[in-house]
Structure 1
Amino acid sequence: MVNLTAILSDLSGLKATDLDRSARFVDLGFDSLFLTQASLQFRKRFGLRITFRQLFEEAPSIETLADYIDSKLPVETHPGADGRTDLLETSIRSRAARISAVDLYDATSSHPQGASKGGAPSLLERVINEQLKIMEQQLELIRRGEGLPDSEPPSLTGTEVEADRGEPRTALSDPGAGRAKEAADEAASNGGPIPLTEAQQEIWFASQLSPDASCAYNLSNSLHLTGSLDHVILEAAIHELVESHDALRLRIDPLGEQQTIEPSGRATLTIDDLSQLPESDRAAQIEQAREFEVTTPFDLENGPLIRFRLFKLQETAHQLFVTVHHIACDGWSLQLLERRLSFLYSNRKQGRSPDIDWPQFREFAAWLADARQTDAGREDEAYWTEEFATPAPVLEVPLDHSRPPVQTFSCRRLGMDLEDELLTSLRERATEAGMTLFSLLLAAYDILLWRLSGEVDLVVGLFAAGQPAFGADVAGHCVSLLPVRTAISGDETLDAFLLRVRSKLGDAYDHKLLTLGDLIKRLGPARHANRLPLIATTVTMQTPPTGINFHDLAVTVENHNRRASIFDLELYMRELDESLQIDFQFKTELFEESTIRTWMDHYRVVLESMAEQGQTRTADIPVLTAEQWTRYVADRNDTSREYSSLLV
């Protein structure tokens, strides 16, 4: 149990003494992303696969998880000081066995890795022998009851990812993945092409439809920097950022099949001095620039795929625009790049030049290709194929305008805030139901879509970051779009429906290796020129940026709303200090603003009802505000009239 507590403490930043071992993980405030990362660390430490869903159902607390792990490990484990079985010895023996297996594989392979000549030990053999010696020393420490040092044995190439399920591992635990990484490194160093991932190919195909379609993949933020900014150091940090991330130097071939990594990046910093303009003119210039960033497509073939633009508003006030194409960078990666840019700037500002060796996107692409060929990859393929063995209807909510014969992309975004009181109630309701806040918000959205469309078989797209599965913070397009399919019935209780949503979400997160594009190829659904197959709406929970520290500057981050989208309707959620910001993004060719505002009111009513009710049937969950009920129901059904007595 001590090891479990230490892992959770390291990941969460909470003190180990503050972690209630009997409390459910949801009671401790752990969300879906956190538990995904934790499950991977458990796999690394104990050699056991523990799924996201199990952390909600079978082992939802530190105590129950410790019991579960004890039941799955061999009996030759060491009793811990707290009376429980210590898991360290089993973990070390398991790791030693894996290394020995790799040693045997390399010794018998017709193409051994690092094979020695003339009987002299190879580098790989020396590393294996050294790790086995360290592990024996650790086992001896355990036998004497002295415990282990904090650090783990060194790996051959540092932390990578296990190909059978994507958990952190050393390169030695999977020779195939190691060779894939070496092949990717060799191709990159020789300037050779690297295949696009399936997800990148989906983006490339969509981007070819029109410039507007390509702009649907522009990710753009602005960093508000307050203080004395050094322009020269910032530009040098930007250059170093691009040089140290291969994803920012990608170029896509004209056929959308291969990508090359430029040996040197060409991203430059454009500087606009607006400090002499009146405040109203400065604001207008900033708005025009923001519009330019979200409506100007990237040249995927010639690059660059990232743009930096700095606006000087006053001597101590600047805005830095960072815009990147989604084929090179996902939302997780954009935050990561901004943190690393601040790190590079801060170090240069202080005269330091730390050695950096950040994981590269080509490594992730190689790992992903290997992982999909493993048993876990085939399991994920089987799961999604079975999930959609019966064709799913594409969501049809009421439209204000007929769908154009060819898909259009223009969109707008409207937002509302959920006040702290309601947000607190929703968190308590989610905890009571044994689910995360995101799961509860998704369930409410499902109910809204059902009431709007009458469809009892719903498919909603959810985005799942691939970096936790890879086991390292890598910048690139590593996200998967998961088509979560949920049935809904008006006769079931709200509690029963919440349990099913939680289950479906857990299954989806546990099967992330198959991309949406590959699934669509396998299913072969009917395609139409005016809409996407399978998914019409998505839900995204955006996490507030953290760790962005430009030396002595104050920093705030602002997201730039897109002006183009490939989906009919999108729901974005973002937790703020004392509220939850909820945005509805919609295609303007299909919906009027007034309609979306009405739906936003409906969604709030559903959330308010879910915060209070549990055994209520889903059909009885209200969607109308008091004003809407009066206007749509009471007034229209009030047919009583006064008549003259002469007519009686």
Structure 2
Amino acid sequence: MTQYQPDAHWMPLTLAQLDFWEEFCLHPDTAVSTVAHVIELRGVTHPGALRRAIETTIAETDITALRFSLGADGQPRQRIDPGRRPPLRRMVFDRHEDGRARAFAMMQADVDAPLDLLTRPIAAQWLIRLGEGHYLWFNRGHHIALDGYGMALVERRCAALYAALTQGTDPGPPLRPLADYLNEETDYRASPRHTADGQHWAGVLASVPRLHVLKKGSENYPTEAFEAGHDLSALRAALMQQTQLAGIGWPDLLTALCAIWAGLSLADGSAARRPDADGRIAMPVWLPYMSRMGSVSVAVPALVVNILPLAVDLHPDETLEAVLTRLGTSLRKLRRHGRYRIEQIAQDSGVGAQSRFFFSPLINVLPFDEAHFPGCVARREVLSNGPGDGFNITIRSDGQAEGLELLIEADPALTPGADFARLADSLPRFLSRALAGAALSRPLRELLG
């Protein structure tokens, strides 16, 4: 069994990290994959406890002290360097009428600045006072170090520590080190399960349209992507009812519905869509997969999330129920083999070292509960979570589907403005129709409208 030590040795980058390293090398002057969250807290009665909770969280989160360098062989490597651990920067803006706006402008400027992974600390931690009991906690990192779940893990740990300091509750176990995940991942890649998972994905790719491939470095990340937001809160009751009728969890139901809509609607360069002479449509969509259940990474802030293709195969005359049943089975198989890295799938498929898959359309349903700080009203705002390739659908809510929000984004180079306006209006209408009581027995073309 491989045994990396968190503070003693240089460690290799994972396949996922190597992709972000190459992105950095190809786009060194562009702030591409910085990730940053802001937790806005109102009602903080123990500011000292909040400060200590954040500082303890920083001390536990070893990836905040991640250092990269090039080895003698020219390959990137990483280690935990306590000297890179960010101090908690404290600022007071409550003397300014526009203090909140000024604070957000300062945080956004930090996010927008290029981040040199070889020379600059990878993380920043700020605590900004806006008024009595009113604070902003700014948590900035990079996708090479952690994903969205990892960010949420850090936030929940800080909230647990704050509760322990203010209410005497048990804060639970500390976060686990990056080395634990690297050891487990190395052992998985040498196991029979890894071989079996690879065989599964070879079969999947043999049955879908040829996946689009990008040459690394050719990404044309738009400075102003099209985007449209929709409040889906009014659909929650219908979503929960349809979940019971369809026998599928609500995050999977929304994922499948968005995949169906994409197969029916996206016909531009953002999708590898293949209709046949009879009108049947085959198209892969891309899904982030958390890949943490049953793994030590459930308690490790790190880059663990995978991106995997889901084969959409449908005919507009099929009923919604028939297609949902088929996609539900595919989603279960995706999870069963979801630890197998997309970077390895690309290598297995003959994608060259200087190329990668084009992850579009991408559907990301995020049912994450926000961190609960006792006695406070807390709100998370995502300042940056990395760019998308083409057409992106994101749905955020808590674990009970409260506060459902839909964000649709598209690259103007692939989706013309008039088409985007039509598509951005079409998806929420399709979701509303698909969640109606009798929708399961209706053909897809009727639901699209």
**TM-score grouping bracket, smaller chain normalisation:** 0.7 to 0.9
1 or 2, which has the higher strand percentage?
Answer: 2
Q: Does 1:393 align with 2:217?
A: no
Identical aligned pairs, as a percentage? 21
Q: What amino acid maps onto 1:614 in structure 2?
A: L
Alignment partner of 1:494 out of 303, 306, 320:
320
Relative to structure 1, the CA distance from residue 592 to residue 284 in structure 2 (aligned partners, 3 Å threshold; closer, same or farther) is farther
- Give the distance between the partners of 2:33 and 2:110, measured in 1 at CA: 11
Relative to structure 1, the CA distance from residue 405 to residue 298 in structure 2 (aligned partners, 3 Å threshold; closer, same or farther) is closer
* Residue pair 2:370, 2:380 contacting (<8 A) in 1 also: no
Q: Please state whether the residue corresponding to 1:270 is helix, strand or coil.
A: strand
Q: Does 1:417 align with 2:231?
A: yes
Q: CA RMSD in A?
A: 3.1
Q: Deviations over 1:193-239 (max 9, x none)?
A: 111111111222223332576x3422221111223466655444433
Query: What is the 5 A alignment of 1:6-405?
Result: 179-180=1-2, 183-185=3-5, 188-190=6-8, 192-211=9-28, 215-228=31-44, 233-254=49-70, 257-278=76-97, 281-348=98-165, 357-389=174-206, 392-394=209-211
Q: Does 1:572 align with 2:394?
A: yes
Corresponding position of 1:429: 242
Q: Please state whether the residue corresponding to 2:448 is helix, strand or coil.
A: coil
Corresponding position of 1:623: 448
- Give the distance between the partners of 2:311 and 2:295, measured in 1 at CA: 25
* Residue pair 2:152, 2:371 contacting (<8 A) in 1 also: no
- Give the distance between the partners of 1:283 and 1:546, measured in 2 at CA: 21
- Give the distance between the partners of 1:224 and 1:437, measured in 2 at CA: 28
- Give the distance between the partners of 1:345 and 1:313, measured in 2 at CA: 19
Q: What amino acid maps onto 2:4 in structure 1?
A: A
- Give the distance between the partners of 1:266 and 1:491, measured in 2 at CA: 57
Q: Which runs of 5+ in 2 are unaligned?
A: 268-272, 275-280
How many corresponding residue pairs? Answer: 425
Q: What amino acid maps onto 2:240 in structure 1?
A: R
Relative to structure 1, the CA distance from residue 378 to residue 361 in structure 2 (aligned partners, 3 Å threshold; closer, same or farther) is same
Q: Note the C-alpha offset of 1:325.
A: 0.9
Q: Note the C-alpha offset of 1:447.
A: 2.8
Q: Note the C-alpha offset of 1:536.
A: 1.6
Q: Please state whether the residue corresponding to 2:312 is helix, strand or coil.
A: strand
Higher-Rg member (1/2): 1
Q: Deviations over 1:423-479 (max 9, x none)?
A: 322332232122122222223222322233163222222122233221542211121
Alignment partner of 1:445 out of 240, 258, 262:
258
Q: Please state whether the residue corresponding to 2:146 is helix, strand or coil.
A: coil
- Give the distance between the partners of 2:325 and 2:170, measured in 1 at CA: 51
Q: Deviations over 1:462-499 (max 9, x none)?
A: 12223322154221112111122222223433221111
Q: Please state whether the residue corresponding to 1:416 is helix, strand or coil.
A: strand
Q: Please state whether the residue corresponding to 2:422 is helix, strand or coil.
A: helix
* Residue pair 1:249, 1:304 contacting (<8 A) in 2 also: yes
Q: Please state whether the residue corresponding to 1:285 is helix, strand or coil.
A: helix
Corresponding position of 2:278: none
Alignment partner of 2:292 out of 457, 467, 470:
467
Q: Please state whether the residue corresponding to 2:99 is helix, strand or coil.
A: helix
Q: Deviations over 1:571-612 (max 9, x none)?
A: 111236755211112234444565433212211232233223
Q: What amino acid maps onto 1:484 in structure 2?
A: L
Relative to structure 1, the CA distance from residue 528 to residue 457 in structure 2 (aligned partners, 3 Å threshold; closer, same or farther) is farther
* Residue pair 1:212, 1:409 contacting (<8 A) in 2 also: no
- Give the distance between the partners of 1:208 and 1:548, measured in 2 at CA: 38
Corresponding position of 1:614: 440
Q: What amino acid maps onto 1:418 in structure 2?
A: L
Relative to structure 1, the CA distance from residue 528 to residue 414 in structure 2 (aligned partners, 3 Å threshold; closer, same or farther) is farther
Q: Note the C-alpha offset of 1:419.
A: 4.1
Q: Note the C-alpha offset of 1:406.
A: 5.3
Q: Please state whether the residue corresponding to 1:332 is helix, strand or coil.
A: helix
* Residue pair 2:10, 2:78 contacting (<8 A) in 1 also: yes
* Residue pair 1:194, 1:258 contacting (<8 A) in 2 also: yes
* Residue pair 1:222, 1:322 contacting (<8 A) in 2 also: yes
- Give the distance between the partners of 1:579 and 1:345, measured in 2 at CA: 25
- Give the distance between the partners of 1:608 and 1:238, measured in 2 at CA: 41
Q: Does 1:556 align with 2:386?
A: no
Relative to structure 1, the CA distance from residue 495 to residue 526 in structure 2 (aligned partners, 3 Å threshold; closer, same or farther) is farther
- Give the distance between the partners of 2:261 and 2:170, measured in 1 at CA: 53
Q: What amino acid maps onto 2:286 in structure 1?
A: G
Relative to structure 1, the CA distance from residue 322 to residue 224 in structure 2 (aligned partners, 3 Å threshold; closer, same or farther) is same
Q: Please state whether the residue corresponding to 2:176 is helix, strand or coil.
A: coil
TM-score (norm 2): 0.84
Q: Does 1:540 align with 2:349?
A: no
Q: Please state whether the residue corresponding to 1:621 is helix, strand or coil.
A: helix
Q: What amino acid maps onto 1:221 in structure 2?
A: H
Q: What amino acid maps onto 1:571 in structure 2?
A: I
- Give the distance between the partners of 2:372 and 2:238, measured in 1 at CA: 31
Alignment partner of 1:485 out of 311, 329, 340:
311
- Give the distance between the partners of 2:260 and 2:221, measured in 1 at CA: 27
Relative to structure 1, the CA distance from residue 413 to residue 606 in structure 2 (aligned partners, 3 Å threshold; closer, same or farther) is same
Relative to structure 1, the CA distance from residue 262 to residue 416 in structure 2 (aligned partners, 3 Å threshold; closer, same or farther) is same
Q: Please state whether the residue corresponding to 2:266 is helix, strand or coil.
A: helix
Q: What amino acid maps onto 2:62 in structure 1?
A: D
1 or 2, which has the higher helix percentage?
Answer: 1
